[in-house]
Amino acid sequence: MSDRLLGTAAHRAFIDHEFFKQVSSRNLSHAHVETFLGQWWHPLHYFPTFLARCISVLPDIESKSAITRILSQETGARSAKAAHEVIYADSMEKAGYDRRAVTGSVPFEETAALVAWYEQCSADRTSALGGIFATEVTDLLMVSAIGEAVKRESGTERNAWVDIHVQQEPDHVDQATSAVFSGLTAEQEQELLDSAEQMWRRWTAFFDRLAAETGMIAPAGRS
């Protein structure tokens, strides 16, 4: 099942995105990186709600426990100051970015569609698991890319938000994988696969927009 998920065209297209290829070499302005950060905030802020909704539709305690572990880490494991979104806002402000722009920017159309899919796919077990798996197996790639943009533009060598993902993400992937392989029918496996592909497509559209904002790719509708 894992091989099927990671072998899909949607996954391959996402991990080969131009944003990830160019972010470490392209000159980015302060405004560009601040735009990245302001758009990233929206799925970051919604993610704990997404996980909580997923837990509510998972039927077995093993899956609930696995995803609850991820949710606990995302929300700071008993300390709100250690929540990922708090670390994110604090660390980006320390790097020189306007906190209001980071946490209060209007979402792009693609960003809003991504968050809407997170809400939609958390409505039932199989689509929820597909959304969780698709996110967790590619999260470190995305975080590293955003972190690289911040590092190169701001000159900040260490970023607490990136560090916490390097520390916790392997466990998140393990927990997501454990939940996926909790006994599904062939039909349910296909539904999970479809959900994961939809998630990668929406993340691709998200990074298409970010890449277009900096000229990495042509805006949609242009050749």
Interior/surface letters 32-47, b for 16+ CB within 10 angstroms, e for the rest: bbbbbbbbbbbbbebb
pLDDT tens digits along 16-57:
999 999 999 989 999 999 999 999 999 999 999 999 999 999
- Residue 218 located in a structural domain: no
pLDDT category of residue 158 using cuts at 50, 70 and 90: confident
Taking alpha carbons only, the member of 83, 59, 81 closest to residue 71 is: 83
Query: Looking at the predicted structure, is the pLDDT value of residue 77 above 50?
Result: yes
Q: Are 136 and 117 within 8 A, CB to CB?
A: no
At 179 the pLDDT is: 66
pLDDT tens digits along 103-152:
999 999 999 999 999 999 999 999 999 999 899 889 889 999 999 999 99
At 181 the pLDDT is: 60
Q: Are 85 and 45 within 8 A, CB to CB?
A: yes
Distance in angstroms (rounded) separating the CA atoms of residues 36 and 122: 25
- Residue 219 located in a structural domain: no
CATH number of the domain that residue 166 is part of: 1.20.910.10
Q: Are 118 and 50 within 8 A, CB to CB?
A: yes
Q: Mean pLDDT, the chain, as a whole number?
A: 89
Number of domains observed in the structure of the chain: 1
